[in-house]
Each structure stands twice: as C-alpha cells, then as structure tokens.
C-alpha cells in the first residue's frame, strides 16, 4: 500500500505506526490543499493520514475538526477529535507491537495540539527539535528524502536521544536555532498589531525559513491571534493564509478551523489555513483580522457581564 500523509511530525509518526501494521511500500508527503483540490491520483490501495478525506482511497485516518466526516459516511479507518492523527491510528489498531512508541505518541500529541511552552520555542529540545527539522528545504524532495530517513530511524529505535545523534538529523538540528533567529527578524519587519491580532504580510518574503508556527507569539505576546499571508512561492496565483490562536497567551477562543473552512481551507479550533487567489488574499486576510477582533471584543464584553453578575 501507499501512504499519503502530511509533512510534519504527526505525519511522520503516522507513517512509523502504519509501517508496523500495514504493508507500506511508499510514502507521499503532500499538503492538505493538494488532497482538497482532488487533483492527485488516489487509488484503493492508498491510505490517507492526517489529511482531508478522498473517497477513492482504501483507508483514512484523521483528527482535524474541519474534516469531521458527515453522518453515514462509510470508510475504512477512523476519524476522531484526538490530539494527533497518529493517536487515532494507535487507538484504532490497539496493537501491543505499537506500545514501544508510547513516549513518541505523548510528544506528538503535545506538539500537534499546540500544547507548547514558551521554553519549547526559545530552546527547542527532543521531539519538538526533531519536528522543526522536517520542513527546512526549499526543494521539496530533499525534505521528503529526509522524512523517509527519519521514519526508518524511529522504527529502528524510538529513543529521541539516539535519533538526534544521527548525522543527518544533528546537522539539521544545529540549524534550527539560526533559522528561528532568521524567522524572528523577518516576522518583526513584516508584522503589525491590529487590535488583538498580529497581522503579518510575508508575501514578498521568499527568504522566510519554513515551518515555524509558534515564534510569532513569543515576539508578540499581547496578541490573541495571528493572521499571516505566506510567501508566494509554491503555487502561482495562490497565497496561503495561516491563522492561529496565541498558544502562550490569553486566548479569545476564536474557532480558526471553522473560519478557514468558510474560505475553502481547514484546520483545528486553535490553528488552520487556507489557500486563496492572490488578488483576493489581502482583502480576505483583513476581513479575518476584523472578524477576530469583533469576536474578541464580544467575548470580552460577555466576560465583563458575567463577572458583573
Ligand atoms: Mn495532525
């Protein structure tokens, strides 16, 4: 079977688990938008994990709120609102052979559901450090080859101390700190606070390092949410909008996944994204910023009223 999965640590963990319990011959790493567009050939021997559903596949595992299956959908696999897709797979198979991965699972749950501490971002360690090495290269195939390498390393021994000693891993891990600094400098230049939202326009920043979704909150701790227009690199004519709640700060409870679904994307309550037409991107992002600020203001008033009673 072929596994089609996302590009982050949850995806890698899904691959590790499925490799033990199914005949996996090949892993494809893709973005949710690729599945959503329906353009990718998918066959009945394919397993999709940590990505939206496609009816052509043989099995599907996911945990994204925005991908919750409608009542009555018949499919092999499982959807559950768990902290990670890897956890959905782990619980589905209930296979004692997978128990050796329980430490990894706990960390994948924590990282994928954004239960991070400020210290994680300031000084990445362990599985969080590994997760930051998975999306580093401009050329996608380099990251793909690296992720396949990491999958096999974890299968050999799921001890994170050993994994981080691997030459390829340690070489990337050594770069993570520098990438964070570079990322922070670009964010500072391209971000303004609009009400309670940190709004970043990164469309012209093709030099932005990949993969850090949390740094913005250590730089703008007063933000309730972030809205980011990402660099125009991957698809011509389309821009990715990334939105999240501040993991470390006081949250307003804005449902990001639902808001992203309304504009053709998806995600979780806390974090999500969508791909929109370039010419509409700025207007959509600004509407989102307004929507979040309105929501936060309403929440604030509600809280005041409740406290007053
Ligand atoms: Mn996930």
pTM over 0.75: yes
Question: Which is nearest to 146 in space by CA: 112, 182, 175, 125?
Answer: 175
Q: Are residues 18 and 143 in the same domain?
A: yes
Q: What is the DSSP string of 12-65?
A: HHHHHHHHHHS---EEEE--HHHHHHT-S---TTEEEESS---TTSSEEEE--G
User: How many angstroms separate the alpha carbon of residue 183 from the centre of ligand 1?
Assistant: 23
CA 190 to ligand 1 center in whole angstroms: 28
Q: What is the pLDDT of residues 218-273, one digit of tens each?
A: 899 999 999 999 988 666 789 999 999 998 887 788 999 999 999 999 988 889 99
> Which of 165, 182, 207 is the last residue in one of the domains?
165
Q: Are residues 138 and 241 in the same domain?
A: no
Of 102, 132, 165, which residue sits at a domain end?
165
pLDDT at 211 over 70: no
Residues whose CB falls within 8 Å of the CB of residue 270, separated by 6 or more in sequence, listed in order: 113, 114, 244, 245, 247, 256
Give the C-alpha separation, 50 to 60, whole Å.
Answer: 8
**Cβ-proximal residues to 38 (8 Å cutoff; 6+ apart), any chain:** 54
- Indicate if 23 and 138 belong to the same structural domain: yes
- 77 vs 298: CA distance, rounded Å: 40
157-161, 188-192, 216-220: segment of lowest average pLDDT:
216-220
Distance CA 256, CA 242 (A): 9
CA of 302 to the centre of ligand 1 (A): 32
Res 212: pLDDT? 75
Residue 100 DSSP one-character state: G
Do 143 and 232 lie in one domain? The reply is: no
pLDDT tens across 56-92, in order? 999 999 999 889 999 999 999 999 999 999 999 999 9
Q: Alpha-carbon distance 86 to 61, whole Å?
A: 8
Q: Tell whether 131 is covered by a domain.
A: yes
pLDDT tier for residue 303 given thresholds of 50, 70 and 90: confident
Q: What is the CATH number of the domain that holds 250?
A: 3.10.310.30
Pair 198, 137 in one domain: no
Instruction: Give the span between the Cα atoms of 249 and 114, in whole angstroms.
Output: 12
CA of 287 to the centre of ligand 1 (A): 27
Domain residue limits at 48: 2-165
Residue 173 counted as domain residue = no
The count of structural domains within the chain is 2
Confidence of residue 304 (pLDDT cuts 50, 70, 90): confident
Residue 178 inside a domain? The answer is no
Q: How far is the CA of 305 from the centre of ligand 1 (A)?
A: 37
Do residue 264 and residue 127 come from a single domain? no
> Is 184 inside any structural domain?
no
Same domain, 133 and 230: no
């Amino acid at each position: 079977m072929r596994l089609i999965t996302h590009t982050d640590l949850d995806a890698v963990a899904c691959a590790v688990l499925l490799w033990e319990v199914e005949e996996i011959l090949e892993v494809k790493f893709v973005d949710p938008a690729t599945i959503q567009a329906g353009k990718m050939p998918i066959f009945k021997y394919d397993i999709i994990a940590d990505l939206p559903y496609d009816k052509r596949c043989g099995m599907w595992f996911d945990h994204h709120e925005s991908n919750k299956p409608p009542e009555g959908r018949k499919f092999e696999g499982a959807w559950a609102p768990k902290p990670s897709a890897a956890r959905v797979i782990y619980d589905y198979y209930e296979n004692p052979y997978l128990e050796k991965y329980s430490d990894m699972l706990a960390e994948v749950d924590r990282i994928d559901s954004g239960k991070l501490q400020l210290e994680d971002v300031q000084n990445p360690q362990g599985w969080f450090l590994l997760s930051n090495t998975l999306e580093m290269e401009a050329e996608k195939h380099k990251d793909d080859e690296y992720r396949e390498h990491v999958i096999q390393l974890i299968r050999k021994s799921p001890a994170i101390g050993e994994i981080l000693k691997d030459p390829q891993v340690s070489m990337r891990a050594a770069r993570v700190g520098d990438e964070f600094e570079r990322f922070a400098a670009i964010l500072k230049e391209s971000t303004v606070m609009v009400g309670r939202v940190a709004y970043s326009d990164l469309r012209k920043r093709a030099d932005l390092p990949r993969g850090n979704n949390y740094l913005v909150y250590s730089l703008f701790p007063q933000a309730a949410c972030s809205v980011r227009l990402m660099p125009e690199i991957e698809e011509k004519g389309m821009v990715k909008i990334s939105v999240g709640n501040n993991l470390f700060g006081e949250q307003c409870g804005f449902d990001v996944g639902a808001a992203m679904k309304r504009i053709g994307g998806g995600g979780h309550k806390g974090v999500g994204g969508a791909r929109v037409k370039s010419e509409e991107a700025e207007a959509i992002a600004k509407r989102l910023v307004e929507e979040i600020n309105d929501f936060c203001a309403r929440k604030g008033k509600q809280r005041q009223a409740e406290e007053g009673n």
